[in-house]
Structure 1
């Protein structure tokens, strides 16, 4: 295969067809909308079906569906990196990216792919909107949040955070209070309970399995904390919200 020959022939073909890529400003602005949590602007982009607009996007495959799949991967990769730069925990961002790219295996139609892209960009956008209040966090604070997210199913202590950051427990406690207005233990508990809510909504794991997975000391302790947070038992919460919108 003569790659250089193929490249030159491709260049001639694109020139003859006056093919040029769209200005980066539009794409950059869209990614900034996502990273800033601007749900209104992102929804407007979705409503206009901009993802399906092939004008100036370049052809990555001669097959229309595969071409859009490639563009999907490019889009989620760029969004992941921009959102990480803007404060999203790195582990969360890349797990989201992996999750949505894996979903491509099940996509058989352009409409289904467009729907998945809409869900993906809005998922990142909503999460970034929630993170905006943490935009001014220090590097140490963001590293703590990233560690907690990556180890949410472990029993995390303030000693673990101090050891990971190579600092003192008193510094960790003071940082959380000053920057997040909450103690490390309360923050860890809230993250675990948020994870439990999603597992109750979207999985068939039993309550005891969820309790064990998230390393609560016992099912009764998990149920007590869950009731204090939501006013519902885990069983009642699942009955009420099973299958509803992802948090």
Structure 2
């Protein structure tokens, strides 16, 4: 194996640049990482070591390095270790199904934004009050059911007005808006990765009717559930650009 490298291959990007990127992910700095993705920094070759002469394979190797380092630094900054490594395994495992540099970049961006959003939520939750934390746990456990402000007040032993104020002050939205957003996120996953009909999804998530589900979904996503499924059904790594 030829181990002789030319001068350009010996020059690497400043370590400070790389550390800044990983620290932004660990800090949950969504805006900074979104800007990094918009600038296509992952595809830059200047100052980046060449791990393979095949450009696609080279990018896959760099993807794996990024996944390993991101999972490690996020673990150091508070993410549960098993969750961090499961995410890394998930994203690396699907590289086998990707054959172009453009797809690898999209999958990389999805991965780093996933970690960043989770770290952002982790840091946000660290500052949440006990009643709100209890409310969020209740919502996640009963998302398929119809959840009211009265349910949240009862599970925390507080008044509805107090819980309502806490949602606004700590999460920046009403309890009903928060619940609706999570239900629509769940519906989007079902539309993309299941064969459930609109009627079945609306019933599963306890919407009052199919028409109500379609109305709420359209308001949240800017398109009907039918059009969303037509656009994104079965897409695992190409995102929703």
List aligned pairs for 1:189-204, cutoff 5 A.
189-200=180-191, 203-204=194-195
In structure 2, the CA distance between the partners of 1:237 and 1:176, relative to structure 1 (3 Å rule), is: same
Gapped regions of structure 2 (runs ≥ 5):
233-238
The alpha-carbon deviation at position 237 of structure 1 amounts to: 0.7
Q: What 5-or-longer segments of structure 1 have no aligned partner?
A: 1-12
1:239 paired with 2:233, answer: no
Q: Alpha carbons of 1:201 and 1:91: their partners in 2 closer, same or farther (altered >3 Å)? A: farther
Within 5 Å, which residues of 2 pair with 1:113-192? 113-121=104-112, 127=117, 137-138=127-128, 140=130, 147=137, 151=141, 154-155=144-145, 168-170=156-158, 173=163, 175-184=166-175, 186-192=177-183
Query: Structure 1 residues 87, 227: closer, same or farther in 2, change over 3 A?
Result: farther
Deviation at 1:188, TM superposition (A): 2.3
Q: Is the 8 A contact 1:33 1:42 kept in 2?
A: no
**Secondary structure at 2:30 match in 1:** coil
Match of 1:107 among 81, 85, 98: 98
CA deviation vs aligned residue, 1:33-92 (integer Å, no higher than 9, x gap):
553123233311x16722xx3845485x89875554343233234445667888999999
CA apart distance, 1:28: 2.0
Judged with a 3 Å threshold, the aligned counterparts in structure 2 of structure 1 residues 229 and 78 are, in CA distance, closer, same or farther, namely same
Q: What residue in structure 2 maps to residue 224 of structure 1?
A: 212
The whole-number CA distance in structure 1 between the counterparts of 2:151 and 2:85 is 23
Distance in 2 between residues matched to 1:98 and 1:149, nearest whole Å: 28
* Normalised TM-score (structure 1): 0.56
Are 2:214 and 2:225, in contact at CA under 8 Å, matched by a contact in 1?
no
**Contact in 2 for aligned 1:22/1:55 (Cα 8 Å):** yes
Corresponding residue pairs, total: 220
- Aligned match of 1:49: 43
Query: What is the root-mean-square deviation in Å for CA atoms of aligned residues?
Result: 5.4
Q: Quote the offset at 1:228 in angstroms.
A: 4.5
